[in-house]
Amino acid sequence: MKERFHSIDEKTKKLREQLTIKRPEVQDFLDKLEMAWVHHDCALEGSIYSPTELTAALHPGAVVAEASLLPIVWEIRNHKAAVDFIREEAKSSKKHAPLTMTFVRRVHDLLSGNTPEAQQARAMAERRERTEKELLKEREKAGFRKDIPLHKTYLHEIAQPAKVQPALEKLLDWTSSSEFREFHPILQGARVQHEFIKIFPFTDTSGKVGRMLTNFILLRNGYQPVVIVSVDRAKYYETFRSTFTGFSNLMMDSMENSLDYALKFFKDLQRYYR
């Protein structure tokens, strides 16, 4: 395990050096990373968007011509808002600061579009006020789930509704413990996500929130976000039915694959500049 941590640390250091060099390709790489993050994270939940759809939704000021595309646009923009939020929070967060319920709810609200900014943007685009029924549904989605989803994407057993809040509070309390602080940041992020998704607090966003929490922990410790690609979707689901070791190995595999790809990108770039 220590050898894997060392390998990831060394590759992360090399990539960080490349990202400090001022050239247009660096921003191009970061833009592609952001798009891949949104694409694969949505795909893990069953929403597969094309590069064209992603570009249109993420382009500032873009006008959506077809009303049928609006739900896609909102999901992508909500996801990007959550990404931007955890990036900013990671810059000011202490490396071992505990996660809070307020933070978890904020990430959930951003992902589900349950913020004043997102609601105003939707109202302007749709040119109508939300109905009372729609507002009630949004308020219900803002809280913890009250049932066991019949057609949930994940296959593992999840916490009974009455046990969701106590289980989540226990997990968040653990992030203030000495045991949490002694964990390597990669294992901190992996453990939080593995336990969070087994609790499954929210009906629609639990998977996304869990991965955001992991990436927040990684980012504040100087790592790149881990992007689990959609082709590993079945393998990813299966890890929640087995041991934590299987999940942490999948996460580290994903981190190393992303780092290897990034380092190859910049190595090929250096040949171009020679």
Task: List the one residue out of 197, 108, 120, 191 whose CA is nearest residue 154.
Answer: 197
Q: Is 147 annotated as a binding residue?
A: no
Q: Is 204 annotated as a binding residue?
A: yes
- Residue position matching structure tokens 């609006």: 70
Q: Is 112 annotated as a binding residue?
A: no
Between CA 135 and CA 129 the distance in angstroms is 10
Task: List the one residue out of 64, 183, 44, 60 whose CA is nearest residue 122.
Answer: 64
Q: Is 61 annotated as a binding residue?
A: no
Q: Is 130 annotated as a binding residue?
A: no
Tokens of 18: 């490349």
Q: Is 105 annotated as a binding residue?
A: no
Q: Is 209 annotated as a binding residue?
A: yes
Q: Is 210 annotated as a binding residue?
A: yes
Between CA 236 and CA 213 the distance in angstroms is 16
Q: Is 206 annotated as a binding residue?
A: yes
Task: List the one residue out of 79, 80, 83, 76 whose CA is nearest residue 50.
Answer: 76
Q: Is 115 annotated as a binding residue?
A: no
Between CA 176 and CA 98 the distance in angstroms is 5
Between CA 94 and CA 114 the distance in angstroms is 27
Could you tell me which residues are annotated as the binding site?
204-211, 236-237
**Which residues define the annotated binding site for ATP?**
204-211, 236-237
